[in-house]
Amino acid sequence: MKILTLNFLTCARKACKPQATSFPLHPADSTLEIQESDLNIIFLQNILPRLDWPALISITTELGLPGLQAEPPEAEDLVVKEGGAKAEGEGMEVTEKSEESEKEASQLGKDLHRLLIETTIQEGKLMCACCGHEYAIKEGIANFLLPSHLV
C-alpha cells in the first residue's frame, strides 16, 4: 500500500467518520518496501492542494521516515528552477519550450515521489485513534472489513 493512499483513508466505522481523530490512520509495525516507478511531475505538482500535509508529517514520523518540512511545498519547489546557467549567456538561441515535458524534478520533487508513490507498506497495521480499531495490511493490501459487532 502506497503512502499516497493513506491521504484518502479513514476508519470504516460510521461513528468514527465525523470525528477529526479518525484521520489520519496511524501505521504501526510496518514492513516497508520501495517499489520504483516513473516520476510523474505534473501529478506531484497538482496533488499538493489535495494532500493533508500535517497528516503526511505525522505518518512519516510514525513510519520512522526522514522528516518532512513543516510547511507544504509550492508547485515550483518540485522542479529545477528555470533561468539557471543556460539562460545566462546573452544572445543564446532560445530553445522552444514544450511546456510540460521539459520540467525536471528537483530533489524535493524526487523525495516526494519516493515517499508518496514508491514507499509501500507491505505488512503492518493501521490504527484509528478514535476507536482504537486496527486494520491489518497483508501482502501490501489493507483490510477494512469490520467484525460484525463494529459495523
Partner 1 sequence: MLPTPSTSHVCFDNVYEPAEDSYLLLDTLSNAHEVAFLTKRFDKNTPPPIVLEVGTGSGVVLAFVTAQSENIFGRRDVITLGTDINSFACRATAKTVETASKENASTSGIFSDTIIGDLTSPLRNNSVDVLIFNPPYVPTEELPDTSNQEHYNKLSSSTSTSTDAFERDSHLLALSYAGGHDGMETTNRLIDNLPSILRNKSGVAYILLCAQNKPDEVKTRIHAWGNGWTAEKVGDSGKKGGWEKLQILRIWQNLETG
For partner 1, the binding residues (CB under 8 A) are 1-2, 4-5, 8-10, 12, 17, 23, 38, 40, 42-43, 46-47, 49-50, 117, 139-148, 151
Is the distance from CB of 67 to CB of 60 less than 8 angstroms? yes
**Rounded distance, CA 61 to CA 9, Å?**
18
Nearer to partner 1, 46 or 87 (CB): 46
**Rounded distance, CA 74 to CA 117, Å?**
19
Using the 8-state DSSP alphabet, how is residue 138 labeled?
E
Nearer to partner 1, 46 or 107 (CB): 46
Nearer to partner 1, 26 or 140 (CB): 140
Nearer to partner 1, 18 or 84 (CB): 18
Q: What is the SS3 assignment for 10?
A: coil
Residue 69 CB, shortest distance to partner 1, in Å, is 20
Nearer to partner 1, 5 or 107 (CB): 5
Residue 25 CB, shortest distance to partner 1, in Å, is 9
Q: What is the SS3 assignment for 89?
A: coil
Instruction: Please list the residues that pair with 135 across neighbouring strands.
Output: 126
Residue 145 CB, shortest distance to partner 1, in Å, is 6
**Rounded distance, CA 138 to CA 131, Å?**
21
Residue 38 CB, shortest distance to partner 1, in Å, is 7
Residue 49 CB, shortest distance to partner 1, in Å, is 5
Is the distance from CB of 105 to CB of 41 less than 8 angstroms? yes
